[in-house]
């Protein structure tokens, strides 16, 4: 276990799951995140000044370090180009009497230094030259970004002349983990690298990259709500109507175009009213248009491609936590959501637009039907898994908290309703003209669909699992 400098975060591992790190907030008593690695964790080091910055070293032969910060969407991973054989590696933060954020990765015969420095700040270890590759701030957020970090050519004393060797050497003597592995003034193979550019102002605390006035709610989530679910089957031969399957931002992005082939299947439309979530109550409309192939040989999985909500907090957290492409819309109801019949209409945020882009009406069946319990585990028996595999999201207007992501996520949901009933869902849509109407919403389907009315429902939305494609 490792406590951070301010005493409000705890990073821990377990002998039962040696490749997993749990990070807990001691103020709230809740887990902030779980970091799952491919290899056992060898060392954890919180930064002595920045309380939310964690340096991670795994028990692997490659010279790789992981860095995690509360405001980052995912850890930064970087392999340093040390010469093989590397040997036994150790990692530690370095303190040089200033505000620079530096660490050292070393073996018994070589070492490399890394520094995180302010965006736009000149690299203090290198005055220029073709032998040093820099990484711009826009590339920093690209998952799996490959960098050719060529070492700085050593000077006569083993480091560039502009490197503060006196300060580093003095502080190195206080760093017991690395003081016996190499000495700066005699390490001919020492290389110096700038790994990442990031605004690391000590005035900003955890979640420094999150937008202001947004409630940050990391997974897991437990939510309570009432919902209506309509479903119909479509064949892949009919083609995916992109204007219906995606919001404009996702429809026009390269991430969506490269996110796998649509396979058709069971299309589900869900209308939800949340009464309790980590970010408060809100309304939601979800479209799951069947299955998609996941690149990299991960099979076929369902995903949410279009989703609208009625508030900002869930928009930002849904996109950031699980790659759920949430956008904000205005919801208008005619009737009572909890007592069909009623009609719901969705409008763009712009209050001057009075034409809905989606309409649905719910009503009881003509004959009495009993209620029954419903569990998402039952869906697996009819070939509908309770897992989502969500591709990375493009970034939209930051003022509307439409954040982008860069990693594929797989997430499992657990849903249970003790009281579920059958209802009719009518997808008749108003046309552009007053006298025009379409009899359906999705091309080629019928207007009426049998659906489920889930009452007193609980959903558990867990930690996402990174999917490498």
Beta strands in 319-407, from DSSP E residues, in sequence order: 326-328, 330-336, 339-347, 358-364, 372-375, 387-390
Determine how β-strand 448-461 pairs with β-strand 408-426.
antiparallel
Judged by average pLDDT, the poorest of 68-77, 162-171, 285-294 is 162-171
Provide the pLDDT for residue 100.
66
pLDDT band for position 315 (50/70/90)?
A: very high
Structure confidence at residue 52 (pLDDT): 81
Average pLDDT on 67-71 reads 79
- In degrees and rounded to multiples of 5, residue 9 shows phi and psi of -130, 140
Chain position carrying tokens 């589900």: 268
User: Would you state the pLDDT for residue 234?
Assistant: 93
DSSP state at residue 314: H
- In this model, does residue 104 exceed pLDDT 80? yes
Q: Return mean pLDDT, the chain.
A: 76
Mean pLDDT score, 117-124: 47
Q: What are the backbone angles phi and psi of residue 257, rounded to the nearest 5°?
A: -65, -30
Which has the higher per-residue pLDDT, 194 or 339? 339
Q: Which long-range contacts (CB under 8 A, 24 or more apart) does 116-123 make?
A: 116/67, 116/195, 116/196, 116/197, 116/198, 116/200, 117/194, 117/197, 117/198, 117/200, 118/197, 118/198, 118/199, 118/200, 118/201, 119/197, 119/198, 119/199, 123/194
State the pTM of this model: 0.59
Comparing 255-264, 341-350, 410-419, which segment has the lowest mean pLDDT? Answer: 255-264
pLDDT, mean of residues 404-419? 93
Residue 131 has pLDDT above 60, yes or no: no
SS3 274: strand
- The yes-or-no verdict on residue 169 having pLDDT over 50 is no
62 or 327, higher pLDDT: 327
Share of the chain above pLDDT 70, in %: 74
pLDDT at 383: 64
Indicate the burial class of 319 (C-beta count within 10 angstroms; 0-12, 13-18, 19 or more). buried
3-state helix, strand, coil in the chain (%, to 5): 10, 40, 50
Under the banding of pLDDT at 50, 70 and 90, the label for residue 14 is: confident
pLDDT score of 138 = 31
Residue 224 confidence (pLDDT) above 70: yes
The winner for highest mean pLDDT among 29-38, 147-156, 297-306, 392-401 is 297-306
Q: Higher pLDDT residue, 199 or 263?
A: 263
Cα 261 from Cα 294, distance rounded (Å): 8
Q: What is the mean pLDDT of residues 29-46?
A: 85
* Interval 260-271 mean pLDDT: 94
pLDDT band at 15 (very low <50, low <70, confident <90, very high): confident
pLDDT tens, residue by residue, 278-287: 999 999 999 9
Looking at the chain, the whole-number percentage of residues with pLDDT higher than 90 is 40
pLDDT reading at 27 higher than 60: yes
Provide the pairing of β-strand 90-94 with 101-106. antiparallel
Of 191-195, 284-288, 382-386, 447-451, give the lowest mean pLDDT range.
Answer: 191-195
Q: Is residue 397 packed enough to be buried (19+ CB in 10 Å), middle (13-18) or exposed (0-12)? A: exposed
Band (294; pLDDT cuts 50, 70, 90): very high
């Amino acid at each position: 276990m490792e406590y951070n400098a301010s005493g409000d975060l705890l990073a821990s591992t377990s002998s039962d799951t040696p490749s997993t790190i749990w990070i807990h907030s001691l103020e709230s008593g809740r887990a902030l995140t779980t970091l799952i690695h491919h290899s056992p964790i060898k060392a954890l080091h919180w930064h002595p000044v920045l309380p939310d910055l964690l340096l991670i070293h795994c028990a692997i032969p490659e010279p790789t370090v992981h860095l995690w910060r509360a405001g980052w969407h995912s850890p930064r991973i970087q392999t340093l180009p040390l010469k093989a054989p590397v040997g036994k590696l150790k990692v530690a933060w370095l303190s040089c009497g200033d505000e620079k954020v530096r660490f050292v990765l070393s073996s018994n015969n070589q070492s490399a230094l890394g520094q995180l420095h302010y965006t736009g700040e000149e690299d203090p270890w290198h005055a220029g030259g073709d032998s040093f590759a820099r990484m711009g701030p826009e590339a920093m957020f690209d998952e799996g970004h490959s960098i050719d970090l060529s070492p700085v050519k050593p000077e006569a004393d083993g480091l560039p002349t502009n490197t503060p060797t006196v300060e580093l050497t003095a502080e190195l003597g206080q760093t017991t983990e690395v003081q016996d592995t190499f000495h700066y003034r005699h390490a001919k193979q020492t290389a110096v690298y700038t790994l990442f550019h990031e605004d690391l102002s000590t005035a900003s605390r955890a979640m420094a990259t999150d937008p202001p006035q947004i409630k940050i709610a990391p997974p897991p989530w437990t939510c309570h709500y009432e919902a209506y679910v309509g479903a119909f089957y479509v064949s892949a031969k009919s083609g995916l109507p992109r204007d219906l399957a995606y919001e404009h931002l996702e429809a026009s992005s390269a991430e969506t175009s490269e996110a796998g082939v649509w396979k058709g299947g069971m299309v589900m439309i869900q209308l939800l009213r949340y009464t309790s979530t980590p970010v408060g109550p809100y309304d939601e409309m979800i479209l799951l248009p069947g299955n998609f192939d996941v690149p990299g040989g991960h099979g076929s999985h369902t995903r949410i491609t279009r989703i609208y909500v009625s508030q900002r907090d869930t928009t930002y957290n849904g996109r950031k936590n699980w790659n759920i492409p949430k956008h904000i819309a205005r919801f208008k109801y005619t009737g009572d959501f909890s007592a069909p019949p009623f009609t719901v209409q969705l409008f763009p945020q712009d209050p001057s637009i009075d034409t809905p882009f989606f309409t649905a009406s719910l009503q009881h069946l003509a004959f009495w039907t009993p209620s029954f319990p419903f569990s998402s585990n039952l869906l697996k028996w009819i070939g509908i898994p309770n897992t989502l595999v969500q591709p990375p999201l493009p970034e939209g207007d930051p003022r509307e908290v439409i954040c982008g992501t860069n990693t594929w996520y797989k997430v499992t949901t657990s849903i249970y309703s003790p009281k579920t009933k059958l209802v009719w869902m009518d997808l008749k849509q108003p046309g552009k003209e007053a006298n025009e109407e379409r009899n359906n919403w999705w091309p080629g389907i019928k207007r009426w669909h049998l659906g489920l009315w889930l009452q007193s429902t609980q959903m558990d939305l867990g930690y996402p699992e990174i999917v490498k494609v």
